[in-house]
Amino acid sequence: MNLHDRSVVLGVTGGIAAYKSAELVRALRQKGARVRVVMTRAAQQFITPLTLQTLSGQPVSTDLWDLTQESQIGHIDLADSAEVLLVAPATANMIAKLANGLADDLLSTIALATRARLVVAPAMNVHMYESPVLQENVERLRRRGARIVAPDSGSLACGYEGLGRLPDPDVLVEEVRAALATQDMAGETVLVTAGPTREYLDPVRFLSNRSSGKMGFSVARAAARRGARVVLVTGPTALAEPRGIEVVRVETAAEMARAVDTRVAAASVVVAAAAVADYRPKRRADEKAAKVKGGTALPLETTRDIVATIDRSRPDRIVVGFAAETGDPVEKARGKLERKRLDLIVANDVTAAGAGFDVETNVVTLIDASGVVSLPLLDKDDVADAILDRVVALRAAPTKPARAASRPARAASRRRTKARSNVRRPR
C-alpha cells in the first residue's frame, strides 16, 4: 500500500539518531504521506526544527505551552489528526513516559490523547537498551498494541558495538505501512519465490536472466504487512532482506525446487514470482572451459517447472503464477493458467514501457477463472497489493474456484465418459 494522503505524526526525541529524522521525513513524503513533526526540547539539540519544517512542508511543534498553537488546543489537534504516531528515535526516557502514561511535554501528551496506531523505534546505548527496566517498558507498550521496531546492531555513536542503532528510513516507512494495513491475511502462510536462477556451465560461467527480484520481494513485504507469515525463496539478487520474513537464498533451479518442496506443506498461498531458468547445461564442467576457436555447441536440458509441479494435495491452497511474455502475454498466460492448474496468473509484456525487469513499476493483467483484469502502470508495491487483493477475494469466495483441468485431463475424461456410454448394460 502507498501512503498517499495518510497522516503521520513523527515524534523526534533527544538522541544522536535524531539526525536521521530528516531522511525519514523525506522518505515518508516520497510515499505520499502528510507528515507533521513534534520535537522534544532535547531533540532540538541534535537537529533544528527549521530543517524538519522545510522537509515536511508543515510547521514543527515543539512546546506544550506555545500560546499560538494552544489557543487552538494544538496538542489535541495533532492527536486527532494522526493515523500513525511514529516515535523515532525513541529514547529510554520517552519510552518510560509512554509506558507509564506520563504527559509532561507535548509529545507524551499527544501520545496519551491520540487514538492512532503507535509505532516506537528505540535507539540508544546497547547497555541502556538491554537494561531490564527498559525491556519491561517496551514489553508493556507491546502488550498495549504498539508496534516496536527493534533496533539494528552495529557501531554506536558512544563507541560501543551492539543493539541500539535506529533502523534505516525505508525500514521505518515499512513499519508505518504495516501499521496502517488491513490484517486480512492473518493466519495465512505465504510462500513466495523471487529473482533469477543461475545454471552453471563451469565454475565461472552461467546462464541466467534479467530478473532483479523486485516483484517477488514486493509481494513478500505486502503479505507480511497484511499479517501473513511469509517465507521468501530467492535466487541471487542485490536486494536487502525484508525484516520479519524468513529468507531462503538459492542459486540454481534445482536448489529453488528443493527449497520449495521442503516448505510448501505449510503454505496456504504460493506466489511463484521467480524467473526460473527454463534450461540448464546438460553437463557442468569442473574447470573453466577454454575458449574454442570457431565456437562450440552447448547441449541443454529443461529444468523442472516448479509452479506446475507443486503438491496440490492441500485443497485450500491458492497458487499464483507469473507469465513474463512478449507478443500476446494475455493469451499465453491463459494457456499457462490452464496447463499449470493455477488459481491466478499475473501476465505482463516485458517489452512494455515501465514494465519488465529491474524497474520500480510494472503493467500487469490478472487472469483467473472469473475473468481478466488489466491494471495501469503501477509501482511494484501497488501491483503486489493488487495481486494479494485478488488472493483474498479468492479465499473469501464461498468455495475456492476449482483449478481448470488441463487439455489432456479433459480429453481423458471425455474418453472415459465415451467408453462408459458404449458399455452394454444387461437387460
Phi/psi for 277 (5° steps) reads -60, 135
Calculate the CA 200 to chain-centre distance: 30
7-180 fold = Rossmann fold (3.40.50)
Q: Identify the CATH class of 189-408.
A: alpha beta
Residues 2-43: tens digit of each pLDDT: 899 999 999 999 999 999 999 999 999 999 999 999 999 999
The Cα 336–Cα 419 span in angstroms is 29
Domains 7-180 and 189-408 share a fold: yes
List the grid coordinates of 51: 530543517
Average predicted confidence (pLDDT) for the chain: 91
CB 303, CB 380: distance < 8 Å: no
**Residues known to be catalytic:** 158
The residue extents of the domains of the chain are 7-180, 189-408
CB 233, CB 260: distance < 8 Å: yes
The Cα 358–Cα 324 span in angstroms is 13
Which residues in the chain land under pLDDT 70?
1, 67-74, 399-427
pLDDT value, residue 399: 65
Beta strands in 129-185, from DSSP E residues, in sequence order: 147-148, 152-155, 161-165
CB 198, CB 252: distance < 8 Å: yes
Write the DSSP string, 302-333: EPP-TGGGS----TT-EEEEEEEESS-HHHHH
pLDDT value, residue 207: 95
